[in-house]
């Protein structure tokens, strides 16, 4: 079959019935929507094309640059489409966490602006918050950019309503459950809106990463409410999956089914099984469920290597920070704000502030040193970075992300602690802070 433009290949992806011998469900037929077979490799090909197709001529006529906040698949798809029309593309992101994604964007010729030192821990005092930064960039350069805005653009929903949902209706006479990762929430919600016009009782189940965990392309439990298109009333349930479970799911898909889906796809598979296995035995009639295979396995080798080092090095034991359970993180040794000042004075810890450099300069605890989280993540994996005789106090904005580092080092024999409630709690109690920008905070 001959096509005239690569964009004509977006959509009409296959629907694969999963072998019951693999998923183990007795009363449910499980299908995978293979979105990784879109031409640029992900479900975001539809999103990118949906946001651009009506405005391409205008963008080109006005010599604009397409701008987006993305560190992965949306940026890739937008860049490829932009390049077809000789339109510049720029992505602004707080951090590209998977090295292969950054490499692919560079190969494609995307302009990448990574904001310095941003932490996963939300910080209202960080001048490099991506959304605030983009708003300023657009305000200062009113006519320069076309901002795709995948997290709030209704065209993100529209394209999946129009295409993904319609395809699923064509393929199956009845659909009872739809599972999809909640990133922008566009693909799952958009497709479900279309399906529910026919199958009114279909249940839509979102898949998220567990609290403070990271699975590429989807929100974690702390972040999901921040997404502009997310409507909690739309979903009949949300399943939380760990990064370890996501990798296990991806390995099952690839090794047992020949579906080369990435960690997000693995999370959707594992999340679907978690939900469906609880209701399977009580069903009185056969049901049909679908999960979305979002993108490809090959783009996440480094991510998988961090979580499953033994796959790559025979006999490797590994003790990666990514292997921490939610319970281990929650039980991290912590110092409460009520005793923090006295404890710091008596214990003389090395205080490590994980925030970005500008936020650190604006205000910090006296005597602390600044190691932004991206750097810290690398340093803690080296056993010689810190002395075991030195007490360590990790500080982030809310005392959430810093728990992970305190827990990891404590597991490995260090006297490591987390500051409960973080800098925001410290500031709220009017405890003393220093600044290298102003004389007083």
What fold is seen in the domain 326-428?
A: Oxidized Rhodanese; domain 1 (3.40.250)
Residue range 161-166: mean pLDDT, rounded: 98
Taking the C-alpha atoms of residue 44 and residue 236, their distance in angstroms, rounded to an integer, is 24
Supply the pTM of this predicted model: 0.82
Lookup result for tokens 């709690």? 425
Domain boundaries, the chain: 6-43+154-304, 45-147, 326-428
- Structure-block tokens of residue 344: 């710091």
Report residue 360: phi and psi, to 5°.
-65, -45
CATH topology match: 45-147 vs 326-428: no
H/E element holding 374?
A: helix 373-379
pLDDT in tens, 122-147: 566 666 667 777 888 888 887 899 99
**pLDDT band, residue 109 (cuts 50/70/90):** very high
**pLDDT band, residue 440 (cuts 50/70/90):** very low
Residue range 183-207: mean pLDDT, rounded: 97
Q: Classify domain 45-147 by CATH architecture.
A: 3-Layer(aba) Sandwich (3.40)
Radius of gyration, alpha carbons of the chain = 23
Output the CATH code of domain 6-43+154-304: 3.40.50.1100
Taking the C-alpha atoms of residue 86 and residue 81, their distance in angstroms, rounded to an integer, is 9
Q: What is the pLDDT of residue 71?
A: 82
**Cα torsion through 361, 362, 366, 368, rounded to 10:** -40
Taking the C-alpha atoms of residue 384 and residue 414, their distance in angstroms, rounded to an integer, is 11
Please, is 432 exposed, middle or buried when counting C-beta atoms within 10 Å of its C-beta (0-12, 13-18, 19+)? exposed
């Amino acid at each position: 079959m001959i096509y005239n433009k690569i964009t004509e290949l977006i959509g009409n992806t296959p629907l694969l019935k999963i072998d019951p011998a693999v998923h183990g469900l007795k009363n449910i037929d499980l299908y995978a929507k293979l979105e990784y077979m879109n031409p640029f490799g992900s479900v975001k090909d539809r999103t990118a094309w949906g946001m651009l197709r009506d405005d391409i001529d205008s963008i080109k006529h006005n010599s604009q640059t397409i701008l987006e906040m993305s560190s992965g698949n949306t940026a890739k798809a937008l860049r490829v489409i932009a390049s077809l029309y000789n339109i510049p593309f720029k992505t602004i992101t707080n951090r590209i966490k998977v090295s292969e994604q950054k490499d692919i964007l560079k190969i494609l010729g995307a302009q990448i602006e990574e904001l310095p030192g941003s932490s996963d821990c939300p910080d209202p005092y960080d001048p490099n918050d991506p959304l605030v930064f983009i708003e300023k960039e657009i305000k200062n350069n009113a006519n320069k950019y076309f901002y795709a805005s995948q997290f709030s653009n209704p065209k993100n929903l529209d394209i999946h309503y129009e295409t993904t949902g319609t395809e699923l209706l064509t393929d199956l006479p009845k659909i009872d459950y739809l599972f999809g990762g909640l990133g922008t929430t566009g693909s799952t919600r958009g497709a479900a809106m279309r399906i529910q016009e026919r199958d009114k009782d279909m249940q839509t189940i979102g898949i998220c990463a567990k609290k403070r965990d990271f699975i590429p392309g989807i929100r974690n439990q702390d972040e999901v409410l921040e997404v502009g298109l997310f409507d909690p009333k739309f979903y009949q349930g949300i399943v939380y999956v760990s990064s370890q479970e996501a990798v296990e799911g991806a390995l099952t898909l690839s090794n047992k089914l020949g579906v080369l889906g990435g960690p997000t796809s693995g999370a959707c598979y594992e999340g679907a099984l978690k939900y469906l296995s609880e209701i399977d035995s009580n069903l009185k009639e056969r049901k049909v469920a679908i999960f979305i295979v979002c993108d490809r396995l090959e783009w996440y080798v480094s991510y998988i290597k961090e979580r499953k080092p033994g796959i790559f090095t025979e006999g490797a034991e590994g003790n990666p920070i990514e292997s921490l359970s939610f319970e281990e993180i929650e039980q991290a040794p912590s110092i409460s704000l009520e005793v923090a000042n006295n404890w710091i004075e008596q214990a003389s810890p090395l205080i490590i502030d994980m925030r970005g450099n500008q936020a650190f300069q604006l205000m910090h605890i006296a005597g602390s040193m600044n190691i932004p989280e991206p750097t810290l993540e690398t340093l803690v994996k080296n056993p010689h970075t810190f002395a075991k005789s030195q007490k360590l106090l990790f500080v982030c904005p809310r005392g959430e992300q810093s728990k992970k580092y305190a827990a990891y080092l404590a597991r490995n024999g260090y006297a490591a602690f987390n500051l409960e409630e973080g800098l925001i709690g410290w500031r709220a109690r009017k405890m003393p802070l220093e600044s290298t920008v102003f004389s007083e905070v």
